[in-house]
Amino acid sequence: MNSYSTFGTALHRLAILCYVLFALFPLFWLLKVSVTPNDLLYSEGVRMWPSRMSFEHFRFVLAHSAFPVFFRNSMIVAGATAVIVTLLASLSGYALSRFTFRGKYWLVALMLLTQMFPLVMLVAPIFKMLSPLGLTNSLTGLVVVYTAFNIPFATFLMQSFFDGIPKELEEAAKIDGATQFMAFRQIVLPLTLPGIAATLGFVFTAAWSELLFALMLISGNSAATFPVGLLTFVSKFSVDFGQMMAAGVLALIPACLFFLFIQRYLVQGLTAGAVKG
Amino acid sequence: MASIDIRNVRKNFGIVSVLHGVDLSIENGEFVVLVGPSGCGKSTLLRMIAGLEEVTEGEIRIDGMRVNERAPKDRDIAMVFQSYALYPHMNVAENMSYGLRIRKAAREKITAAVSNAARKLELQPLLARRPKALSGGQRQRVAMGRAIVRQPKAFLFDEPLSNLDARLREQMRAEIKKLHRDLGATSIYVTHDQIEAMTLADRIVAMHEGVVQQVGSPLELYDRPANLFVAGFIGSPAMNFLSACYEIGAGTAGARLPDGTLIALSSAYQLEQGASVTLGIRPEHVEMSPASESSLRATVDLIEPTGFGIILHLGLHGLPFNVFTLDRAALTAGPTVTVAFPPQHLHLFDETGMRALETSLQKGKG
């Protein structure tokens, strides 16, 4: 029995290890290519690590390409979208979780409906609507579009987190002397931090890596976001893999930092001990 | 401390009516227990007093002031929840002081109130801990501490001991009783456990299907249950019921069982001759006796020793019938036993299930 369970654990760990290796391999390759000098890129064949490392691609990308602009644009768009969506989704998710109101069922159905269409179908009408408003080729336009598309899912996500917080906590606060809003701010919100972190992270990554709308609504480099910018490394006759990968590695940094910052909240089981499980 | 008046209070959830007009007056300093099976409306009534549910119809007054439209925070009451509902991101001291902090009480007053409550509930060593680092009983104590620091007008308890194991429940029950003795605060306590109701209450309010069945002291409910529901709900093991016909003769009254046995009653009742009635007797009042004219033979299905006494599960005319006895000889009872019903311990209920009204026996003709 015991040896069987040891064997099972080993198998379990091995499976997880295989999965992690499989999932991380593209990232490893990204890093490997980004530090491979151009002259070795095609001459060394398939090797796990180049015989000589160089940071020339990084230097080029930072000093001689429009990458810093793309990066800044992406930061603005993804950051603004994440904050706005999380703020709105917290409020709407709380409302869906706690209040009963007329038309709630239809509102939820409508929000689900918006998630059913392939985005490609909506590119043309969105362009047609944003164009007269002067929101094409602008970061504001992208923020508006991303916010609109992310809110339904983020709302459901936040609602599920609010559903997980016992109603009695708010009731206890209200009896202790809090108003509905104070109970929300002082009791519910601190307990929803993991949810807020998850939503922020989810929306930030979605907006950070969005290509379709960015490609369709933005022309020219000044308002291009990072995924669109990556395409500038593809020229008519060649693809500059080294620089593209270096740009990719740099683009990973904010996402990694962001998750490093919020992972404390993501894993925290704050509600443990609130009510008897 | 305050009195609480509930006048003709009704509650509907949509088209479902859960409380059908409840009237209740709770005196200053009284400990009232609302008891009844799940779904009887007792928790809803408590939540309406707290202000967590709206009153559909009727009026609730605390200290003479109508509070129907007041928010929970303006009613100056405290509530202990079944799930404890401790704030998980605050430590014990913060949990207990939250109500005072939110009311902007002076810092010295808060510290004094918290340490006073902590001393009463033996929570001093735990003040810096978060709820998740506490045991069930400790959490329960913190929930009570949170209620008492504010010195509210009334305490509401919503099945506060249901999540504890039997041992701890007994201990906490005694602590709640002691706390009430020390503080003398008006308290309303909801439970489905009739032992808790009996042991804690000054007055019990027995509820069933949104209607108050009987209000009275624990012993009143035990000795003179107003109807079949209260008779069956209060007392453990539960009261036995037998169908019978009421018979009145000269100077005697009795209930005739379907098999023809006549059970003598100690008084007459305001019932017609031959009226169908339900005879009730508590398991602890049944006598195991040698066979006689008025005794009944029953088959033994099961013998349950409880240590203190013995519960015999019998079959009487094919119906289940329980006897509780302290006599250990019952442990070796054969396949059948004879039982007798002392008249002074019999309860008689009319066709509608209400307690039959007694009259004195007419001495007369022979």
Domains and CATH numbers, chain A: 1-54 (no CATH), 65-276 (1.10.3720.10)
Are A276 and B83 in contact (CB < 8 Å)?
Answer: yes
Q: What is the mean pLDDT of chain B?
A: 91
- Token pair for A15: 């499976």
Cβ-based interface (< 8 Å): residues of A facing B: 166, 168-169, 171-179, 182, 186-187, 190-191, 270-276
Closest to A274 (Cβ–Cβ): which among B73, B131, B150? B131
Chain B residues in contact with A174 (beta carbon < 8 A): 51-52, 71-73
| Range list for CATH 2.40.50.140 in chain B | 237-363
Query: Does position B363 have pLDDT exceeding 60, yes or no?
Result: no
Instruction: Please enumerate in sequence order all residues whose Cβ is within 8 A of that of B146, keeping only pairs 6 or more positions apart, or say none.
Output: A172, A176, B78, B80, B86, B95, B96, B98, B99
Are A179 and B79 in contact (CB < 8 Å)?
Answer: no
How much is the pLDDT for B97? Answer: 95
| Range list for CATH 3.40.50.300 in chain B | 4-232
Query: Does position B214 have pLDDT exceeding 70, yes or no?
Result: yes
Are A179 and B81 in contact (CB < 8 Å)?
Answer: no
Q: List, for residues B97-113, the tens digit of each pLDDT value.
A: 999 999 999 999 999 99
A24: closest CA of chain B, how far (Å): 36
Cβ-based interface (< 8 Å): residues of B facing A: 50-52, 71-73, 77-79, 81, 83-89, 98-99, 102-103, 130-134, 136, 139, 146, 150, 163
pLDDT along chain A (277 residues), means of 10: 81 95 93 88 80 87 86 92 95 91 92 85 89 90 93 91 90 93 90 86 88 86 85 79 88 82 63 43
Q: Give the E-state strand segments of B76-120 in sequence order.
A: 77-80
How much is the pLDDT for B107? Answer: 93
Chain A residues in contact with B139 (beta carbon < 8 A): 273, 276
Are β-strands B240-248 and B253-256 bridged in parallel, bridged antiparallel, or unpaired? antiparallel
**pTM, full prediction:** 0.80
Query: Does position B362 have pLDDT exceeding 70, yes or no?
Result: no
CATH architecture designation of domain B4-232: 3-Layer(aba) Sandwich (3.40)
- Token pair for A237: 């006759």
Q: Using CA atoms, how far apart are residues A162 and A164, in angstroms rounded to an integer?
A: 5
- The Cβ of residue A232 has, within 10 Å, a number of other Cβ atoms equal to 17
Name which CATH class applies to B237-363. mainly beta
DSSP string, A32-63: HHHTS-HHHHTTS-S-SS-SS---HHHHHHHH
Are B87 and A166 in contact (CB < 8 Å)?
Answer: no
The answer to ipTM > 0.90 is no
